[in-house]
């Protein structure tokens, strides 16, 4: 409180990035005319050595004799061809490099580098601390050339999750609850939704969401396409949003909350197994498909598929994965594998309790029993 009894005004705070120069006179027209920044101050008047510029969310102090390196400024704009005469790289008189890039560049999906991949939990791959304190285990180390990332994620200690409203610039993303439960709130989908073991979400591209709370020992399988994608924080939106629009589409995809308890089972495309469909192929218009697979009647034949990516995670039980030209792998819960298109494989000797999570891109493809 001030002496008058009124609340004391908050202190004004500004931040600047300092850049060096040898001759300030040459920098002023570059930063004001070429980069379209505003000159806020300059001194001393008789022989200027410092100028402060602001613009594009940035405040720069260009100072004669400053010890720092010139650095790089990245300007993101939705009209890069109309900024600075269409140049994409510039160098200021003081040596500062300027990159002018797309504000929202198109999502690039790298071509898949097909490979036969087996990742075993027993191999003790390291758990890495990632966003919001969650622990990540990489299920496809090669990421098939950058086309996909598959992560086994866990939070050992439950409770509130220190997350913020955010979104992902991505082509496809799946969250499948493997163990425990987690509460998440999504844009235009009402209040918090609890995901329990066996349930899954598809998070359409750029849907805003926030993880709220998780049980002790929560584990999820997260699939993202492409492997490298940007996560952005939304500092404006508050969740839940007042409206509920279950039919809304984000880049042609709908939000899906598939509940295991209400699913129906049908023969799988490979004899000897049954499966439940998560409706994700339908709601992504064929971008991807997700099924949960269990043992059925009879033995499975050798088969080959033509999917671009076919990823499988063993959730329970075990089986022997046989592949042409490969030694057989006996797999158990926590293991994962990728089978490339055209390669003959067989799911042999499954246990009665075997349960697999299969993710395919695209959602519709052919399988040929041999």
The more confidently predicted of residues 108 and 148 is 148
Structure confidence by residue, pLDDT tens digits, 19-55: 999 999 999 999 999 999 999 999 998 889 999 999 9
90 Cβ contact list (under 8 Å, min separation 6): 34, 84, 97, 98, 100
pLDDT of residue 131: 65
Q: Is the pLDDT of residue 265 over 90?
A: yes
pLDDT in tens, 140-187: 999 999 999 999 999 888 899 889 999 999 999 999 999 999 999 999
If you average pLDDT over residues 102-127, what whole number do you get?
A: 89
CA distance 307 to 140: 17
% of the chain residues with pLDDT over 90: 86
Tens digit of each residue's pLDDT (9 = 90 or more) over 308-327: 999 999 999 999 999 999 99
Reply yes or no on whether the pLDDT at 130 is more than 80.
Answer: no
Q: Is 161 helix (H, G, I), strand (E, B) or coil?
A: coil
Per-residue pLDDT at 57 exceeds 80: yes
Per DSSP, 28 falls in state H
Sign of CA dihedral 358, 360, 364, 369: negative
Contacts of 104 (CB under 8 A, 6+ apart): 78
Instruction: Tokens for 248, please give them.
Output: 């809304």
Instruction: Flag whether pLDDT at 135 surpasses 80.
Output: yes
Residue with more model confidence, 333 or 106: 333
Q: What is the pLDDT of residue 6?
A: 67
Does residue 1 carry a pLDDT above 60? no
Distances (CA, A) of 356 to 175, 221, 318, 326: 15, 12, 9, 21
Tally of residues, the chain: 370
Which tokens hold the place of 115?
A: 């490979």
The whole-number pLDDT of residue 51 equals 97
What is the distance between the alpha carbons of residues 257 and 190, in angstroms, rounded to a whole number? Answer: 12
Give the tokens for residue 129. 């601390």
- Asked if pLDDT for residue 269 goes beyond 60, the answer is yes
Q: For 5-29, write each residue's pLDDT tens digit.
A: 666 678 889 899 999 999 999 999 9
Instruction: Kindly report, residue by residue over 229-250, the tens digit of the pLDDT.
Output: 999 999 999 999 999 999 999 9
pLDDT at position 3: 62
Q: So what's the pLDDT on residue 340? A: 97
Residue ranges and CATH numbers for the domains of the chain are 17-102 (3.10.180.10), 124-246 (2.60.120.10), 262-369 (2.60.120.10)
Q: Render pLDDT for 211-229 as a digit per residue (tens, 0 to 9).
A: 999 999 899 999 999 999 9
């Amino acid at each position: 409180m001030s002496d008058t009894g009124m609340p004391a005004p908050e202190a004004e705070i500004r931040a600047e990035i300092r850049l060096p120069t040898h001759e300030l006179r040459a920098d002023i027209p570059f930063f004001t005319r070429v980069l379209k920044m505003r000159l806020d101050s300059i001194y001393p008047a008789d022989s200027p050595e410092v100028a402060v510029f602001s613009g594009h969310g940035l405040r720069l102090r260009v100072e004669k004799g400053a010890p720092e390196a010139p650095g790089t400024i990245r300007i993101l704009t939705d009209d890069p061809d109309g900024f600075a005469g269409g140049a994409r790289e510039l160098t200021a008189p003081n040596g500062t490099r300027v990159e002018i890039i797309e504000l929202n560049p198109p999502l690039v999906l790298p071509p898949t580098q097909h490979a036969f991949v087996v990742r075993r939990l027993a191999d003790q791959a390291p758990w890495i601390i990632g966003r919001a304190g969650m622990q990540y285990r990489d299920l496809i180390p090669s990421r098939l050339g950058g086309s996909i990332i598959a992560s086994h994620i866990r939070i050992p200690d439950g409770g509130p999750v220190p997350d913020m409203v955010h979104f992902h610039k991505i082509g496809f993303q799946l969250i499948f609850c493997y163990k425990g439960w987690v509460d998440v709130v999504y844009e235009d989908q009402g209040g918090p939704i609890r995901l329990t073991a066996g349930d899954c979400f598809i998070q359409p591209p750029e849907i805003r969401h926030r993880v709220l709370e998780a049980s002790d020992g929560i584990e999820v399988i997260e699939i993202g396409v492409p492997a490298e994608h940007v996560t952005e924080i939304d500092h404006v939106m508050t969740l839940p949003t007042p409206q509920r629009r279950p039919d809304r589409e984000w880049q042609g995809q709908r939000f899906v909350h598939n509940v295991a308890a209400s699913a129906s089972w049908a023969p799988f495309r490979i004899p000897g197994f049954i499966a439940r469909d998560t409706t994700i192929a339908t709601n992504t218009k064929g971008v991807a498909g997700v099924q949960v697979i269990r043992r059925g009647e009879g033995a499975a034949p050798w088969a080959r598929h033509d999917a671009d990516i076919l990823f499988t995670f063993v959730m329970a039980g075990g089986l022997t994965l046989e592949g042409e030209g490969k030694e057989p792998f006996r797999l158990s819960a926590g293991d994962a594998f990728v089978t490339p298109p055209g390669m003959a494989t067989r799911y042999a000797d499954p246990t009665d309790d075997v349960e697999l999570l299969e993710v395919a891109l695209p959602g519709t493809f052919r399988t040929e029993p041999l």
